[in-house]
Structure 1
């Protein structure tokens, strides 16, 4: 926001220099990013009247002008193509100073020139803010400029601009009046706001225009005023100066007045050619699919149903809050205008502006929020200026379409809370003085504090804490006392869950697996690729309301898609031997559709292996298959002190091979699954080699893992090793046999391992042979053969009874 120092001084009494005021405002939270002095060193430049022009006798591209500067008539040679007799132009007389240039008499092709005619750029002004014909030529002044007058005050070059860097919550300071209110609150200066002639509704105006707001969620208020006998002409010099200082290009008196009011009050306005509106009707609605409009910049734009438009009875005439339409543009032939002053929904305007890549001063203000209550007053202010400047005759009254007036509620402010938050010792009188400076109305006062009502232009003040922040700003952040922290201190440390995650990561890396991190957002098609039924719990997804792309449309409910995608990308780059893991969260929707509940977030450890370990001189080839990954999982449980782990065959996971899948349980509690990825799933992901995966639910493991470390001495007595070979039906799993052996052997069974599985001619069909190595050891004695033989007989009996096993002879 560019703030004109001269304009600001007309609105509020200021007893500070610009630099001092900038410091005060910055320290209060309204940062002044820079201070620009518009005079870049111009001195001695006067208003001149061109009385005569004739060609230079020695040069075809030069002209000789006789120019009156009041006390003298000068002969000036110029190459400007736009000079005409009777024009008033800036004249740098001999001795004048321009930015980085001093003007002296000079001779051009034998003819002396007594000065120079100046362009806007040569005066240090922004040439882009002037009509095209004046950007490369001489700056042509208005008729009101007196001949011989100093050009600096006439063009506003004696002004100073404060460039404000506003935070999103201070949209109110996008207007000169509200900046003046801020300065008055900070400095105690007297406000001098313009007196506006208010108008109410009248039958005269209502008979000329009809307003219908169809989409009231995007437009809460629409005020229309009609101005007749419009005369389109150049704006007076003072109005141009104000707009140029604010960074706005002057166009004509009607457009300039609407821009002036926008800069003054923060309310964007738009003028339609009244005679171009079909049925003299304004309809505020969403665009229909396929509708188009040619905007004021001459571009044809396609509209979507998410965009709010202003339409007449037949067609769109403007994009609400962004830009008007070319067909209803105010031109030199316009005789009657409809003036729009409205309140549009900020997020809707932002989305429309971004979609069309069309930004404007109006859209900027609507995006950040304008004052709903001043829409009517801003229209009256514009009509007042049009009448004063002879731009038109306003029709009495206005049409104010305001279907549901805004309800605003008082805020409770407690003195004790103010001092508690700020660490101050302010009294009621001091707080009330600050509230009054901010135009905050005190509705009720009691011993604890106040009930207050905030001004409508401060839409950022909604809660008690907002008011406390304002009190801190106005009282001065530097007045908040410096105190040492007090209270109980705690030692920072990771909790049990975080320590478990760190241990698991170390275990996985220690086994040679590489950690990957994939997106928590996935494409919904992954759930189809995993062949999950429609009623599967993993389809209870959290949908992202504004995804960056379709690839990130939902939150993941399983960690498998990211791992499979990583494998696919690596294989495509000829990296086929992979051992990967990821420790991350999955997200499950909770409740029924429509309920506003947070999703369930669960920590999961996922791992995937595929390919093989290549043969070397020291080690043989090893496949990264199901059994490799099962070993990785077993090492995790052993390292965490969880020996009672079982792998139970499962066929209910549609993403895994039905014959190579198992549920993982600890002490009878299911904590995950392991298996080989189903061939159809691999086909969907474009993976042409077998892959195994496991997934562990870490939230379930957290309560099972003990951080207490227990040690026992190394046994002094020798171990006894015996082999056991049995024949069991094919349906019997090795895990079942291990369970029976462990339960029977009890504490004396030190270790057990399966070292052979055999199916062949010596084993009848439908059976298999399992061979185990059993290690026996006691901590207090040497075991005898009789003790070990007895235990073996008990194990053999238990296996025969429970599993129908026979000893292999």
Structure 2
């Protein structure tokens, strides 16, 4: 919200405060002032000039030679290139030695042999933004009013002796999106009561507004208040300079007197208005309703909009003539030929306005105010003020009466609170009198209910207040945050420490990074197809009602899809070796639960090599056993009491059916590891790619072995090797399980050191060779004990897996 210091001075006394001092006081009470913009502070020797003569320069298609009266004895000759310069105009003249915006210095010069003593200026050259300059003067010089005196400083005519405060208004303080709202705020800060000029509205009595138009609202929830006034006999013309100045300082481009009045009243009251050309309505009936599916409306910007029942429209009984609260229609807007105005003032349902503005990408000053809320008590006053100004500045007359539909009436909000409650919340020792004075400074009413208890009456202009906490906040703001005593927290302090889940998460990230992987962070939202791919569980999808895009619509059930996108992005940029991991949450819908189930998962994607090429040779390509080995070491570092088991799995979605294993803990599947299906890899332009994902929460909850430290064994161990001929279907995990169950208490390690299939091995068979390490940390192993345990292993292998000992 851009607030003119001079405009604000019309309502409150600011004689003792500079704009910077006022900005500090406003910021200290809760509304941040982002900047104080001083207009024309560095401009010098810029005066009013009167163009006496103007003629085209020979040999030039755009330059003019003018003589200009600048209040001195002799007129100045100035060469001007503006297309709209003409004799008789009052213009802005920068004299030789003047400095313009950006530090440009004006000097006496010659153009094509003609002396130019200064420069006739446009508003852009004085530092005004293109977005606020009146369209009439956008491509040329600015013409001042006829009563401007040649030679006078131009500052007062353009309002450049002013400062503009840029207020950052939070959604809960939308009452400050108006000059009157800011005036009440400043009045409370300075302990003043704002003074607003009396409204003088003269109405004609020969006809009634109800005879010219009727109003109907299809659903009063969509438009709780809708009012319309009629102003006849108006003339559309340029606005007076004072009105243009106020709009330009607020960042709004002046258009014409009627449109400018609606914007001016919106700035003063915070009440958006819309002016229709009454003769273009095509009907005396105004109907406010929801748009029909695929209904069309050409808006003021010339764009045809396709509407839906989510949009609220103003119609002439049948056809839309405006998007309620957002933008008018091209078929009913004010033009130079307008003589009768139908002036709309309303309250629309905020969510409808927000959805329409978002859906059609039509954000405006008007829609912003409807979204955040408006003062219901000021709707009629704003309409009356605008109608009076249209009659005054447009030469028209206001038809008697207001046509309206009202489902709600403005009323004060009453909040009961005790002084003791305020002091307990703020840590202050305010008396009832001090609290009452603060409430009165805010313009609120107060009444004593009992000793120490007050009833605070909040007017409709502060619709953000409804509970005791709101009153406490207002008392704190006006009393002064800097005056509230500082207190140290009391009670016993608690030493902070990481939870088990946090420790395990950090350990996992350190381990994977030490294994050569890099951390990636991907979006939790993805497409519906990607959300279901690689999921560990089949549950219903969770969609957003208003997604940013179709690419970010559904909550993920797996981390792998996002990592594959990242891997494909890197591969497309010539990164052939990619190793990424991520720790993050996935989301599932549980039957009978309202809230989503969130699980912390760990996932990784690897393609190419983990080793750099060197003179010794190319790095080995990542394969299933590389990834499985990383996982085995990671799980071993967790110290789980129950062993992790890898089982062949051909059912996992998106994975190679012959190169995938499920990861089981305590008999439950917590993840998987393997090669992604070649078709899935092709979608991302990846070569042979391996992934894993597991539920970290399940690992956190699993029972861990206590961490025990022991000395290095003093006694030597021994080992036994065994070669087995087994059926091709027998897995390494099955062999390990049998050996572990029968290996005896001195068995310390089992290592597969050979796998062979081919010549000299019959079809359907494979050869596995294992080394079994034995160790007794307290004594030297007896050969008899080792042989006995080893024989038991061989017998179990033969009986359980039908192996042949080679």
- The verdict on a shared fold, with TM-score over 0.5 as the criterion, is yes
Q: Deviations over 1:358-413 (max 9, x none)?
A: 56543443344322342222112222334455732222222222346689865554
Q: What's the CA shift for 1:666?
A: 3.4
- Flag structure 2 segments of 5+ consecutive residues without an equivalent: none
What secondary structure is seen at the aligned counterpart in 2 of 1:132?
helix
1:682 aligns to what? 681
1:636 aligns to what? 634
What secondary structure is seen at the aligned counterpart in 2 of 1:10?
coil
Provide the rounded CA distance (Å) in 2 between the counterparts of 1:55 and 1:740. Answer: 109
Provide the rounded CA distance (Å) in 1 between the counterparts of 2:779 and 2:573. Answer: 59
Provide the rounded CA distance (Å) in 1 between the counterparts of 2:124 and 2:686. Answer: 69
1:183 aligns to what? 186
Provide the rounded CA distance (Å) in 2 between the counterparts of 1:800 and 1:56. Answer: 113
Provide the rounded CA distance (Å) in 1 between the counterparts of 2:573 and 2:66. Answer: 73
1:278 aligns to what? 282
Q: What's the CA shift for 1:545?
A: 3.7
What secondary structure is seen at the aligned counterpart in 2 of 1:189?
coil
Q: Deviations over 1:264-291 (max 9, x none)?
A: 2121212111111022233334555665
1:698 to 696, 707, 716: 696
Q: What's the CA shift for 1:710?
A: 0.7
Contact in 1 for aligned 2:94/2:120 (Cα 8 Å): no
1:747 to 745, 751, 754: 745
Structure 1 118/516 Cα, relative in aligned 2: closer, same or farther at 3 Å?
Answer: closer
2:465 aligns to what? 461
1:606 aligns with 2:603: yes
What secondary structure is seen at the aligned counterpart in 1 of 2:460?
coil
Q: What's the CA shift for 1:182?
A: 1.3
2:321 aligns to what? 317
2:213 aligns to what? 209
User: What is the TM-score of this pair, normalised by structure 2?
Assistant: 0.82
Provide the rounded CA distance (Å) in 2 between the counterparts of 1:30 and 1:481. Answer: 21
Q: What's the CA shift for 1:699?
A: 0.5
Structure 1 279/655 Cα, relative in aligned 2: closer, same or farther at 3 Å?
Answer: same
Provide the rounded CA distance (Å) in 2 between the counterparts of 1:93 and 1:609. Answer: 69
Q: What's the CA shift for 1:476?
A: 1.4
Contact in 2 for aligned 1:42/1:123 (Cα 8 Å): no
2:270 aligns to what? 266
Q: Number of aligned pairs? A: 789
Q: What's the CA shift for 1:255?
A: 3.0
Structure 1 96/194 Cα, relative in aligned 2: closer, same or farther at 3 Å?
Answer: farther
2:26 aligns to what? 25
Structure 1 451/771 Cα, relative in aligned 2: closer, same or farther at 3 Å?
Answer: farther
RMSD in angstroms over aligned alpha carbons? Answer: 4.9
1:161 to 140, 160, 163: 163
User: What is the TM-score of this pair, normalised by structure 1?
Assistant: 0.82
1:552 aligns to what? 552
2:802 aligns to what? 805
Structure 1 79/288 Cα, relative in aligned 2: closer, same or farther at 3 Å?
Answer: farther
Structure 1 665/358 Cα, relative in aligned 2: closer, same or farther at 3 Å?
Answer: closer
The 5 Å alignment of 1:310-709 reads 310-346=314-350, 349=353, 360-387=364-391, 391-403=395-407, 410-411=414-415, 413=417, 415-442=419-446, 445-446=449-450, 449-450=453-454, 452-526=456-530, 537-572=537-572, 575-591=575-591, 597-611=594-608, 622=620, 624-642=622-640, 644-689=643-688, 691-704=689-702, 706=704, 708-709=706-707
Q: What's the CA shift for 1:758?
A: 4.9
Provide the rounded CA distance (Å) in 2 between the counterparts of 1:716 and 1:168. Answer: 73
What secondary structure is seen at the aligned counterpart in 2 of 1:395?
strand
Q: What's the CA shift for 1:84?
A: 8.1
Q: Deviations over 1:9-48 (max 9, x none)?
A: 3323445233443332232233442153669878997898
What secondary structure is seen at the aligned counterpart in 2 of 1:272?
strand
Q: What's the CA shift for 1:465?
A: 3.5
What secondary structure is seen at the aligned counterpart in 2 of 1:676?
strand
1:16 aligns to what? 16
Structure 1 781/678 Cα, relative in aligned 2: closer, same or farther at 3 Å?
Answer: same
Q: What's the CA shift for 1:558?
A: 0.9
The 5 Å alignment of 1:166-245 reads 166-169=168-171, 170-196=173-199, 204-214=208-218, 219-233=223-237, 235=239, 239-240=243-244, 242-243=246-247
Q: Deviations over 1:425-452 (max 9, x none)?
A: 3233222222222233447745675454
1:710 aligns with 2:708: yes
Structure 1 584/116 Cα, relative in aligned 2: closer, same or farther at 3 Å?
Answer: closer
Structure 1 660/413 Cα, relative in aligned 2: closer, same or farther at 3 Å?
Answer: farther
Q: What's the CA shift for 1:474?
A: 0.7
Q: Deviations over 1:34-63 (max 9, x none)?
A: 153669878997898x9x979899999657
Provide the rounded CA distance (Å) in 2 between the counterparts of 1:505 and 1:130. Answer: 60
2:36 aligns to what? 34
Contact in 2 for aligned 1:610/1:624 (Cα 8 Å): yes
Q: What's the CA shift for 1:635?
A: 1.0
Q: What's the CA shift for 1:729?
A: 4.5
Provide the rounded CA distance (Å) in 2 between the counterparts of 1:122 and 1:696. Answer: 63
Contact in 1 for aligned 2:582/2:604 (Cα 8 Å): yes
Provide the rounded CA distance (Å) in 1 between the counterparts of 2:119 and 2:762. Answer: 115
Q: Deviations over 1:559-596 (max 9, x none)?
A: 2212333444455555545544322222223457xx8x
The 5 Å alignment of 1:241-260 reads 242-243=246-247, 246=250, 248-260=252-264
Structure 1 240/741 Cα, relative in aligned 2: closer, same or farther at 3 Å?
Answer: closer
What secondary structure is seen at the aligned counterpart in 2 of 1:180?
helix
Provide the rounded CA distance (Å) in 1 between the counterparts of 2:578 and 2:58. Answer: 86
Q: What's the CA shift for 1:549?
A: 3.0
Contact in 1 for aligned 2:216/2:288 (Cα 8 Å): yes
Structure 1 191/789 Cα, relative in aligned 2: closer, same or farther at 3 Å?
Answer: closer
Provide the rounded CA distance (Å) in 1 between the counterparts of 2:660 and 2:803. Answer: 27
Provide the rounded CA distance (Å) in 2 between the counterparts of 1:515 and 1:83. Answer: 65
Structure 1 786/285 Cα, relative in aligned 2: closer, same or farther at 3 Å?
Answer: same
